[in-house]
A = this chain, B = another copy of it.
Amino acid sequence: MKKEYLYSPGPTTVPPEALSVMGAPMFHHRTARFRSLFGEVIEGLKDVFQTANDVLVFAASGTGAMEGSVANVCSPGDRVITVNGGKFGERWGQIGRAYGLDVDEIMLEWGTGVDPAQIDKRLNKKVKAVYIQLCETSTGVATDVEAVARVVGKTDAVLVVDAISGLLCDEMLTDTWGVDIAVAGSQKGLMIPPGLACAAVSEKAWGLVEKATLPRYYFDFKKHRKSVAKNDTPYTPGVSLVRALRETLALVKAEGRDTMLANAATYARAIRAGMQALGLELFSRAPSNAVTAVRMPEGADGDEFVKTLRDRLGVTFAGGQEALKGKIFRIASMGYLNQFDVLTAVAAVEHALRAMGVSFAPGAAVKAAQELLVE
């Protein structure tokens, strides 16, 4: 009878509307039926990204689209700027180096965000692309993408934003801000299982794609662009996931993108207030609305905390990664979530701290969260 609650920063809870279609019989993808489905999904994604640019969809997890955003844009030895303020910013640097690029990596203290002036200072005619995160999932830090876009937009460099965990939680106005490539994954705000990745690609970026000589095949943007123009894919698409995505995009449309963003902001604020009411310290200096990272109290182990939550309470949070292992825990507020789910997450923290013998004022977190949720 133990119920399960999923607050990991991907995969997130999949709504029953999407789960049920994944159990429907399989069908062939080289058909009008698939093209009609895929066309709807592409339209829905354009709205989510707030873009009129081409949106490409890959059968892959988000990292695949990140790699594609390097291999399709750059040539060997090209200079790129990346921001390493966590595990996913670090990944941009790793991909760049794997492809033989000249990576100018801005090293940040994890938990802090990049100052757009730091990027501005390093921009010059040699820089081909700037790679950042909308939300750095490992630390819960949001980037001021609009401000970064303003400095990059003055140059010939393209701005590539990993919006995998931030999308539909932190604002992302791809076209208005001038983001050249925005990358998403399916298992976060898009609310379906992992296995699809997307990239919205601007005309400025297509200009670079034409000249880029790094090798690519499965993630070849030009091949995907040509296919998507006919609501098709160059290689076999993830049919069951595309079908599920149509359902969750319909939910996004019904709820409204703006409402989802406003809710995510409220939920994240309530979680933060709850944690602070327990005397816990927030890890992020620029908190994202997608995921909240919280420092473990002195002497308590974050991995044990996460395990206690999962095994005793059926509640899945994420722990810290790499240097943050055992030091923080992370609560996602992405996707299929309402005010009661948020209250449950906050309440679960109190239960688990109690189980670990940490002293606090019981009810303080839920009261603080509820004050904001009731508004």
A157-186 with Cβ < 8 A to chain B: 185
Counting chain B CB atoms within 10 Å of each CB, which of A12, A20, A23, A219 scores highest?
A23
In the complex, residue of chain B having the shortest beta-carbon distance to the beta carbon of A14: B26
Q: For the complex, give the distance between the alpha carbons of A26 and B194 in Å.
A: 10
Q: Using a CB-CB cutoff of 8 Å, which residues 13-32 of chain A contact chain B?
A: 13-14, 19-20, 22-31
Q: Is A235 an interface residue (CB 8 A)?
A: yes
Check: A252 CB closer than 8 A to any chain B CB: no
Q: Are B27 and A11 in contact (CB under 8 A)?
A: yes
- Contact partner of A22 (CB less than 8 A), chosen from B23, B61, B237, B316, is B23
A193 and B30 contact, CB distance less than 8 A: no
Copy count, this protein chain: 2
Interchain CA distance A60-B59 in the complex, whole Å: 5
| A289 sits at the interface (CB 8 A) | no
Q: Which of A42-62 contact B (CB under 8 A)?
A: 58-62
Interchain CA distance A99-B214 in the complex, whole Å? 8
What residues of B have a CB within 8 angstroms of the CB of A71 in the complex? 215
Q: Complex: how many Å from CA A4 to CA B33? A: 13
Distance from A110 Cβ to chain B, minimum over Cβ atoms (Å) = 19
* Contact, CB under 8 Å: A215 / B59: no
Bin chain A's interface residue count. 35 or more
Chain-B contact segment, one of A127-135, A238-246, A273-281, A359-367:
A238-246
**When the two chains form their complex, are residues A61 and B235 in contact, meaning their CB atoms are under 8 A apart?**
yes
Bound-state CA distance A26–B332 (Å) is: 14
> Which residue of chain B has its CB nearest to the CB of A23?
B23
Residue in contact with A28 in the complex, picked from B11, B28, B235, CB distance below 8 Å: B11
Given contacts A31-B310, A98-B216, A240-B240, list 11 more A-B pairs with CB under 8 A: A14-B26, A19-B23, A26-B187, A28-B318, A29-B194, A62-B235, A64-B235, A99-B215, A187-B236, A193-B238, A194-B239
| A interface with B by C-beta (< 8 Å) | 4, 6, 8, 10-14, 19-20, 22-31, 58-64, 67, 71, 94-95, 98-100, 185, 187, 193-195, 214-220, 235-241, 310, 316, 318
